[in-house]
Amino acid sequence: MKSTAGWTAACIVAASVVALLLGVFVASTFGGNMGFLCFLGVMFVFFGQGLYQVSADPPQVIIVTIFGDTTGVIRRSGWRWLPLRGLVFDAIPLDIGIVNEDIEEVSYFTKDNVAGKAPVSYSWQPISEPNAEAETADGRAVHPLVNFLAAGKKDGIHDIMNDKVIGTFVEFMRGNVETWQDALSVGDLAVSAIFKSITGEGSLPTSIRTSVLFKHFKLQKESYNEADKSSLELPADAADADVTAKIEAQIADDESGDFGRMVARDHPGVSYRTHLEERVGSRYKQLALLRTGRAKCDLPDLGVRFTRLNIGERVPDEKVVAAAGKIVIERLERESEKIQAEARRDQVRELASLKDNDGNPVPNDHARRLLELQQVESGKNINYIALSVGLPEGAEELVGKLADTVKAAAPLVAPIVAAKTTGKGGSGKGGSKGGGTK
């Protein structure tokens, strides 16, 4: 950074010399009083001309320049003095308010080649602290706002950040999300991937999914979902105890492998598990702050601070949703049919277990025929009608024999029995058997 003190002193000396010379000239021409007034007037113009007001609303800072070259000196809101402004010193005003970027739709593909869309929003703010430091591309030490200026200010950062955020999100979804169903539950993982891409922060020293570790170390209270279990190569119905055991075993494997050796090399005296817990906790806190817009992820190369990142609901292609809904409905219908068929078999077995008045079992075929009834609701009364009962030859007599037992054990059959005994047999010899004569 260039020092402005020397140039400020030089400007004051130069202005004083000019004012003095003019004062002497005027005094020799018009008298001493006029010369003194001329001196004061020149100095007044000199100091007044250098005054510059930096806006507080909207919040701004200025980068001070000398002969058009940035000095890296930052001046915040208020009245500032830039001697010989426009000739020696000058100012480049920069807005330092938070910029909110909202991308309504980001299109992506998952590994199963299903398209989807999701809204992405993020916020950033120029780094404006006076003592902040950064480096230019050629290695010069400058204030981060110099890099912000070089990046194209607000419009340039908008393009750079959009490319990074969108590109990382699309790449993550394509390379890490197996199915469109999995895309519905990878919000935190996608945010973490974008965060690492933008800030340059390295991955955690583990082979376990970050979201799984959040839950394992009790940072999140949610239960392990199907995607978590799948990442550990466990079945979807695995118990939490099995998941915990698998995670602990994986941590032990990582500690004895390359991850453990890397931590021991870079952080001597710190155990692998302690380091892992600290890194996971720090990552969780950082992501939580990102979701609420309170993060402070400095990007000095761009001169900005990343403060917020949120990914909205991932919505798959409408055709896929419609097809999935149809599949669900068909599956439910199949399950319903299965339940109905099982209930029918149970009823057949129940009827087949009955015996007639002579102690003879009911044949399965006859039991099935007896079930061919439909319940019809008329007002509040329930009536039963026969639908092609088609009892086999000799079955009517069997029905008559079953009358006493069936009436007590199977109300569904009783009405058809009563109808047949009343309609065909009436009273008499045939009626005593329940079925009438053929």
- At 356-376, the pLDDT tens digits run 556 666 665 655 555 554 333
List CB contacts of 88: < 8 A, sequence separation 6 or more. 7, 11, 66, 67
Domain-embedded: residue 18: yes
Contact indicator for 255, 272 with CB cutoff of 8 Å: yes
One domain, residues 171 and 25: no
Same domain, 123 and 184: yes
- Inside any domain, residue 437: no
Q: Are residues 59 and 192 in the same domain?
A: no
Lowest mean pLDDT among 306-315, 316-325, 378-387, 426-435: 378-387
- Please tell me the total count of domains within the chain: 3
**Same-domain pairing of 237 and 135:** yes
Q: Is 325 a member of any domain?
A: no
- pLDDT tens for 274-301 read 999 999 999 899 888 988 889 888 998 8
- Quick one: tokens of 294? 């309170």
Do 308 and 213 fall within a single domain? yes
Q: Output the DSSP codes for 11-66.
A: HHHHHHHHHHHHHHHHHHHH-HHHHHHHHHHHHHHHHHHTEEEEPBTTBEEEEEEE
Residue recorded with tokens 């950082």 = 286
Same domain? 243 vs 273: yes
Task: State the pLDDT at residue 201.
Answer: 80
Q: Pick the last residue of a domain from 39, 69, 95.
A: 95
Q: Is residue 38 a part of any domain in this protein?
A: yes
CB environment 134-170: b (16+ within 10 A), e (fewer): beeeeeeebbbbbbbbbbebeeebeebbeebbbebbe
113 occurs within a structural domain: yes
Residues 416 and 269 in one domain: no
Confidence band (pLDDT; 50, 70, 90) for 434? very low
Structural domain that includes position 72: 5-95
Q: pLDDT tens for residues 229-242?
A: 888 999 988 998 99
Stated pTM of the model:
0.66
For residue 357, what pLDDT is reported? 59
Q: Which of 21-35, 163-177, 200-214, 414-428 has the lowest mean pLDDT?
A: 414-428
For residue 210, the SS3 value is: helix
Structural domain includes residue 222? yes
- 358 burial via Cβ count (<10 Å: 0-12, 13-18, 19+): exposed
Q: Are 71 and 140 in contact (CB under 8 A)?
A: no
Q: From 50, 67, 95, give the residue that closes a domain.
A: 95
272 and 173 belong to one structural domain: yes
Last residue of a domain, one of 269, 289, 316: 316
Contact status, residue 146 vs residue 135, Cβ threshold 8 Å: no
The two tokens of residue 175 are: 């390379």
Q: Are 220 and 214 in contact (CB under 8 A)?
A: yes
Q: Does residue 428 sit within a domain?
A: yes
Report whether pLDDT(409) > 70.
Answer: no
Looking at the fold, whether 46 and 136 belong to one and the same domain comes out as: no
Do 78 and 204 fall within a single domain? no
Of 125, 131, 123, whose CA–CA distance to 76 is shortest?
Answer: 131
Strand boundaries in 275-417, DSSP class E: 297-299, 304-311, 315-316, 373-378, 381-386
pLDDT reported for residue 108: 92
Mean pLDDT of the residues in the chain? 79
Same domain, 171 and 294: yes
What whole-number distance in Å separates Cα of residue 415 and Cα of residue 436? 16
Residue 327 lies in a domain: no
Q: How far apart are CA 357 and CA 271, in angstroms?
A: 82
- Whether 299 and 143 have beta carbons less than 8 Å apart is answered as no
Note whether 104 and 82 are same-domain residues.
Answer: no
